[in-house]
């Protein structure tokens, strides 16, 4: 269970960082600043 918690914390941290980056550099990720969209890989 500890590994699962670590993974969840890591994913939430990545999601927060991704959100901050998408706000500051929307054109970099190809994200619409007005809404949340998943970046196509």
Q: What is the DSSP string of the chain?
A: -HHHHHHHHHHHHHHHHHHHHHHH-HHHHT--TTS--PPP-
The dihedrals phi and psi of 19, each to the nearest 5 degrees, come to -65, -40
Q: What is the pLDDT of residues 2-41, one digit of tens each?
A: 999 999 999 999 999 888 877 777 666 565 555 555 554 4
**pTM for this prediction:** 0.49
pLDDT of residue 24: 75
């Amino acid at each position: 269970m500890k590994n699962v918690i670590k993974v969840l914390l890591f994913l939430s941290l990545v999601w927060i960082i991704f959100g901050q980056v998408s706000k500051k550099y929307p054109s970099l990720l190809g994200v619409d600043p007005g809404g949340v969209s998943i970046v196509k890989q």
